[in-house]
């Protein structure tokens, strides 16, 4: 039963809804999560969720934005010794949200909002990787293709199970071969 907690700060309530949605999307998946389940977990009514989010795709995008912003902040501040270590850290973090990654890819063709978010996500991370590759001395002409190859390898590692030593070996070899 939803609890009446009036008055509650609008931002706080939104954060509670996002936390509930993130937990459910990660544990039971996008299709297994209903707005009713999110409402129940957040302690609000289903109608309350619609005051904050237009639909389930908008809720998913808000959850993804939260995760991505925190991951980007941490990634940029990391002092790991190599690009491979940074990429491995990112993969480990994204792996916790495997079901969200699957949901995004499954909804690309049916949701313009998800498609737009996905394109922006790729652009942001590819730009960041390109900057790191340039900083590591990769010739500028090789940066775009190398960046795309690394992104494809990351997506492959997220969609296919590999243990951490295999991941490291793959990334180290890839980065060595790519320069």
Predicted confidence (pLDDT) per residue in 12-55, tens digit: 999 999 999 999 999 999 999 999 999 999 999 999 999 999 99
CA atoms within 13 A on the CB side of 161: 0
Q: Which domains does the chain show, CATH number per domain?
A: 1-53 (1.10.10.60), 54-178 (1.10.357.10)
Instruction: Count CB atoms within 10 A of the CB of residue 69.
Output: 10
User: Exposed, middle or buried by CB within 10 Å (0-12, 13-18, 19+), for 145?
Assistant: exposed
pLDDT tens digits for range 59-104: 999 999 999 999 888 888 888 778 888 888 888 888 888 889 889 9
The rounded distance, in Å, linking the Cα atoms of 137 and 75 is 20
| The model's pTM | 0.85
Supply the pLDDT for residue 5. Answer: 52
Q: How confident is the model at residue 4 (pLDDT cuts 50, 70, 90)?
A: low
Residue 148: pLDDT band by 50, 70, 90 thresholds? very high
> pLDDT band at residue 6, thresholds of 50, 70 and 90?
low
Half-sphere exposure of 44 (CA within 13 A, CB side): 25
Which pLDDT belongs to residue 31?
95
Q: What is the mean pLDDT of residues 103-126?
A: 94
Distances (CA, A) of 89 to 118, 139, 167: 20, 25, 11
Of 33, 72, 73, nearest in space to 53 by CA: 33
User: Long-range contacts for 136-142 (Cβ within 8 Å, ≥24 apart)?
Assistant: 136/83, 137/179, 138/178, 138/179, 139/179, 142/178, 142/179
Identify the band that residue 3 occupies on the pLDDT scale cut at 50, 70 and 90. Answer: low
Task: With CA atoms as reference, report the closest residue to 132 among 116, 121, 114, 146.
Answer: 146
């Amino acid at each position: 039963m939803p609890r009446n907690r009036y008055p509650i700060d609008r931002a706080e309530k939104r954060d509670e809804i996002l936390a509930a949605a993130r937990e459910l999307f990660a544990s039971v998946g996008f299709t297994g999560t209903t707005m009713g389940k999110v409402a129940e977990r957040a302690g609000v009514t289903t109608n309350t969720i619609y005051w904050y989010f237009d639909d389930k795709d908008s809720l998913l995008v808000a959850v993804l934005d939260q995760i991505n912003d925190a991951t980007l902040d941490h990634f940029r501040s990391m002092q790991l010794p190599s690009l491979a270590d940074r990429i491995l850290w990112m993969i480990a973090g994204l792996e916790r949200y495997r079901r969200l990654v699957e949901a995004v890819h499954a909804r690309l063709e049916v949701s313009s909002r998800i498609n737009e978010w996905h394109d922006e996500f790729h652009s942001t991370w590819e730009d960041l990787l390109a900057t790191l590759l340039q900083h590591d001395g990769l010739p500028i002409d090789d940066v775009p293709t190398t960046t795309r190859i690394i992104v494809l390898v990351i997506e492959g590692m997220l969609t296919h199970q590999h243990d951490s030593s295999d991941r490291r070996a793959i990334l180290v070899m890839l980065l060595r071969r790519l320069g």
